[in-house]
Structure 1
Amino acid sequence: MFAAERIRIIKNYLLKEHKVSVAKLSELLNVTEVTIRRDLEKLEKEGFLERTHGGAILKEYTEEEHAEEFVDIYKTQRQEIAETVFHLVSDNDMIMITEGLTNVYIARKLTQKSNLTVLTNDMRVAMEFANSPVNNVILLGGDVKEYAVYGQLAENNMQYFSVKHLFVEVDAINKQAGIMVSSISKASFIQKAIRSAEIVSVVCLANCFGEKSLYRVGSVDLADKIITNSALDDSYKDYLFGLNIQVYTSVDIYEE
């Protein structure tokens, strides 16, 4: 992979997550930690990030801010998506929510429902529902990677469950490359999760349409529904309609 492509992926990751470890980027990009440190040094000189012990944080993001409240530049967009999902889930449903920050916002909103059974591999999602006594949450076991569990154990555990609605958060949707995510663990997990669901809804921020990430989950038409925010370009709406995929945006919840 060329240096320019690595830099682009690192920037996109930090814009979403605000902080990252050298080890995580080394695994994500399949290069040595020495190479990652050089990339981070270059981005620090550009003023994009600040290097920390073992990683880096986005320049505008500080540990003090993190301690008080998570700073999210896409907060409004994620809240719009969460509001849309709220109208697609009914009390008593059994659903699955995969790892992702937008899915955490979705979980927070869905705690207003009653008697949901929620299966997840994201510890943040599980914690949202752990404080909701009127709903039930099941956290899959597996290898812990940052905020979520992955690996063979997590995938094996999924075979014992069948859910009505699966909400999969992805990092990019591209007409040529399809649905993409940032790690092979995430791609493999999503591919297995899809087999356990009646309805597959793909969650993706509008600004990630037309972008690319590192690993391909599959073609766009593996989704029954795609849920995004109101900034989605009309050309992508037309493209998805042509594939007979239901598209939900925050402008019109029932836009199909």
Structure 2
Amino acid sequence: MSQTLRHPEILEIARRDGKVTVERLAAHFGVTLQTIRRDLTDLAEAGRLDRVHGGAVLPSGTSNIGYEERRALNADTKRAIARACAADIPDGISLFLNIGTTTEAVARELLHHRDLLVVTNNMNVANILAANTDCEIVVTGGQLRRADGGLVGPLATGTIRQFKFDCAVIGCSALDADGDLLDFDIQEVSVSQAILRQSRRTVLVADHTKLSRTAPVRIASLADLDAMYSDADLPEKLAADCEGWATEVVRSWVVDDAGPSWQEPG
């Protein structure tokens, strides 16, 4: 496996386990200890990990990982989440899709929907949906965040306030055990909060890695949303809270020729 493919998986293991060790990674990938040490050094120099004796740990939760790296992580899982979400989006509605690699996956699953009005502050979403000639696209404008094609700032929120959406699909960087949706960029959070206020139905799309991450800025609570689409079973207390809040939790499964990769609960 090439370094390009190893790095995202190393970061995924670090997010899942909290740390990685040189010996375990070498055994996992079938490469030498020296190769893994170089990988960890590269990731540390890029600010993705902090080196410790014998391995590495995640850095403090004050900055997000890179966009291309996020796009590569759990691509099949995000596709499954997006497919489940898009299946519940009817034709002929107004819809907001915000910044995020999972919302971009939702956009790809909407390419055959008809008569949609999609408003977005995500240039990547707009480019994806441009292939759907039955979809009218409105881009909010705003300050361009070159790292991920996001549009933020007062112009973005001002555009959003001119609409009342039938549905909004949003992502987040982390999901706390108490159900708080968290992010890193306070400008992006302001945009997300405006989206939630202007939408009749609000939906979160988030894969299992969001449950093991943290971020400093609060967007909202799952209590404020109508549904969450994820590949993960929520912690028992949070699942019970969602039931009390009437927040629907929709679990998706990655499906291949061998069938679902997750076993549905009985």
Unaligned 5+ runs, structure 1: 1-10, 17-42, 59-65
Match of 2:89 in 1: 89
| Aligned counterparts, 1:126-165, within 5 A | 126-146=126-146, 147-165=149-167
TM-score, normalised by the number of residues in structure 2: 0.68
User: What per-residue deviation string (whole Å, max 9, x for no partner) do you get for residues 20-45 of structure 1?
Assistant: xxxxxxxxxxxxxxxxxxxxxxx988
**Secondary structure class of the residue paired with 2:194:** helix
Unaligned 5+ runs, structure 2: 1-6, 13-36, 50-67, 254-261
**Secondary structure class of the residue paired with 1:218:** strand
Task: Supply the distance in 2 between the matched residues of 1:215 and 1:208 (Cα, whole angstroms).
Answer: 14
| 8 Å CA contact retained: 1:80, 1:250 | yes
| Letter aligned with residue 155 of structure 1 | T
| 8 Å CA contact retained: 1:178, 1:216 | yes
Kindly indicate whether residue 78 of structure 2 is the aligned counterpart of residue 78 of structure 1: yes
* Number of equivalent positions: 203
Match of 1:120 in 2: 120
* 1:56, distance to aligned residue in structure 2 (A): 6.7
| Aligned counterparts, 1:28-67, within 5 A | 46-47=40-41, 49=43, 51=45
Q: 1:100 to 1:195 in 2, by over 3 A?
A: same
- Percent same amino acid among aligned pairs? 19
Task: Supply the distance in 2 between the matched residues of 1:219 and 1:167 (Cα, whole angstroms).
Answer: 15
* 1:242, distance to aligned residue in structure 2 (A): 2.9
Higher relative contact order (CA 8 A, sep 6+): 2
Q: Which moved more, 1:202-211 or 1:241-250?
A: 202-211
Match of 2:197 in 1: 195
| 8 Å CA contact retained: 1:207, 1:232 | no
TM-score, normalised by the number of residues in structure 1: 0.70
* 1:144, distance to aligned residue in structure 2 (A): 0.5
Larger radius of gyration: 2
Task: Supply the distance in 2 between the matched residues of 1:165 and 1:15 (Cα, whole angstroms).
Answer: 33
| Letter aligned with residue 95 of structure 2 | I
Task: Supply the distance in 1 between the matched residues of 2:43 and 2:227 (Cα, whole angstroms).
Answer: 36
| 8 Å CA contact retained: 1:107, 1:128 | yes
| 8 Å CA contact retained: 1:97, 1:166 | yes
